[in-house]
Structure formats: C-alpha cells, structure tokens
Amino acid sequence: MKFRTLMVAAIVAMLPQFKAGAQVNLPAGSTSTQLSDLMIALQFQHIKLWFAGKHGN
C-alpha cells in the first residue's frame, strides 16, 4: 500500500511539468525535437495507461 501511494504521489507531482498527450513545444523556427523530450512524454503516457488498466478504467 505504501508503494502504490508513493508512486501515485510522484506521478501527480510530475504531471504539471509533463502533460501527457500534449504537443512538445518547439522554439520558433526549430524543426527538430530532442529525443529525450519525446521519450519523457511517451513514458508518462505509458504510465497513465498502465495505471488506468490496473484500476480498470
């Protein structure tokens, strides 16, 4: 129970920084995105999907 509570608190604390499903904001005139930005956004989408599946949502 403590682990699940800790994980949920950690994800909730990070959500304002990384909005899952949102476009990655690029500077004006930039055509490339850093791989790390894309991977972080994708990781948070997968975390949300995993929790939704685990809880039957």
The Cα–Cα gap between 20 and 31 comes to 21
What pLDDT, on a 0 to 100 scale, did the predictor assign at position 49?
A: 92
Please list the pLDDT of the chain residue by residue as tens digits (57 residues): 687 777 777 777 776 655 545 555 656 655 566 788 888 889 999 999 998 998 888
Give the pLDDT confidence score for residue 3 in this predicted structure: 77
CA distance 27 to 47: 27
H helices, E strands: number in the chain: 2, 0
Q: Which two tokens stand for residue 21?
A: 């499903």
Contact between residue 41 and residue 18 where contact means Cβ atoms under 8 Å apart: yes
